[in-house]
Structure 1
């Protein structure tokens, strides 16, 4: 029981000592410790850690490019892509122009492309078979169904707009807090 009381007393003495740092003044009239000074210290340390993290990530990218023998410069983030239509009306895309005819060239900014691994869509087809009355309203987008692909692209653009608006609101909120 005496150990418990002694521990309690030690904790109370430490808390009072820390609280005194918020009340007692330095010779210049400011308290030894303030919430503002703690906040500034935390922000400074967080910014320094962020800078160090970015520097480390840049070094990793540089070393990775060196190891992979990536010959293109790091500042170049545009890729040339070619598109052409064959005699059957199908569109083809390639990193090389059509050797047998005219190709349309496009510049693609690699920094705006997110590559996502292909998913197994067989489960969607099985689900559509299980729900025959909903299969007409829910169309699984495939390369053979251009209307579904167009709807998917429209939905994707709507989500992108929402994400852009959210990012803008967050940026504005952060600017107001500074």
Structure 2
């Protein structure tokens, strides 16, 4: 099998190399370094143009989505180029905990913090509906038949089996190392 692979690769290499010497009916070779270079340059230019267009479209899409999210949060439409910032007030309570609000605290000294909506990153919330479901018998289907992860004896047996497998693998690795050293 090894020799057949070498033979097949050699034949393919000879076929590709012969394309540099064999000529078409018009007298030109099938392949030349200049034709490969010009073709690869054209492909490179097409790929750069395609990727820059795609990148520009992605940037525009992200900017539009960010503007929509920011306008939905602030309840007032945002102009295309906004330099105004939203007002946020912060204050510290008696325990040292900081609080943030869009209105100043009437009972404590509030510090105004200006935030630029462009600097705010909005991350989608994770789906936490799985936390509300109760566990069913299907959730333990990964355990082998007759083994429960709630039974301490089953857990001990699994750990012992894992140790036995580990020992067998180490023994086999030593045997392989001894054979390769010969």
> TM tier, shorter chain?
0.3 to 0.5
**TM-score (norm: length of structure 2):** 0.37
**TM-score (norm: length of structure 1):** 0.38
When Rg is computed on C-alpha atoms for both structures, the one with the higher figure is 2
